[in-house]
Amino acid sequence: MADIEKFEKQTASEQTDLIQQYYKMQSRIYDATRWSFLFGRKEVIRQVPLSGDTTGSIVEVGCGTGINLQYLAKRFPQASLTGLDVSGDMIQLSQKKNRSIQDRLTLLEQPYARGDSPVSNPADLFLFSYSLTMINPQWSELIEQAYADLRPGGYIAVVDFHDSKRGWFKRHMSNHHVRMDGHLQPFLNKHFSPVHDKVHQAYLGVWEYLVYVGKK
């Protein structure tokens, strides 16, 4: 079955089950390994043009082990933060890592889904860091939900795999539940006005990754 067809057939609950299963083991080696290929995570947070003294609300969808929540807490020391993740194993690690900011951090073990908003007031910023390419085929619904959950003038920040000219690499990534077909960038640009929109090469072009900030 072509990889894209495999992704198109997944229901949201199948996607959740697969990811929860995948991160049971991967969560144990996540921070020790991902620094070597999840590039651009600090860059995307640096590029968000929100004031450092914002007291607004920031949501990370697929917060994983919580490394970006740490960066966000440092850059926005007065903002309230919410991290969502379907994997309880990842949420537990995030909890441990972010004890020092627990008074302004809410961690939710749940998928982000259309029509099921985790925020009671519109957010200032939504961050998706290497999560959208794993959320198949619901990624487009989630971008639209983030649009609905943002205040006017709020921002979406996305860092993720973009594309690769190497078929073997795309197949390898698809075995790790990642779709990389350059599909995020045009969809983001349809909904948001880009304030930062860069595609970078990794390892001399084995793959490309997208660093994107858009304004609602």
CB-based contact 211:47 (threshold 8 Å): yes
| For helices 88-97 and 67-75, angle between their N-to-C axes, nearest 10 degrees | 40
Looking at beta carbons only, is 111 or 154 nearer to ligand SAM? 111
Q: Which residue has the tokens 């660093």?
A: 211
What does DSSP assign to residue 98? T
CB of 184 to ligand SAM, least distance (A): 14
Nearest CA-CA partner of 139 in 153, 128, 155: 128
> Quick check: 107 binds ligand SAM (CB under 6 A)?
no
Is the N-terminal amide bond of 137 cis, ω within 30° of 0?
Answer: yes
Interface residue with ligand SAM among 44, 58, 59, 90 (CB under 6 A) is 90
Q: Which is nearer to ligand SAM, 19 or 50 (CB)?
A: 19
Are 169 and 64 within 8 A, CB to CB?
A: no
149 binds ligand SAM (CB under 6 A): no
Which region, judged by CB under 6 A, interacts with ligand SAM, from 45-53, 83-91, 118-126, 199-207? Answer: 83-91
- Strand 57-61 with 123-129, pairing: parallel
Q: Does 158 bind ligand SAM (CB under 6 A)?
A: no
Interface positions, 12-41, toward ligand SAM (CB under 6 A): 19, 23, 34, 38, 41
CA terminus-to-terminus distance, the chain: 37
- Judged by beta carbon, residue 57 or residue 129, the one nearer ligand SAM is 129
68 interacts with ligand SAM by CB under 6 A:
yes
**Which residues contact ligand SAM (rule: CB under 6 A)?**
19, 23, 34, 38, 41, 61-64, 67-68, 84-87, 90, 111-112, 129-131, 134-135
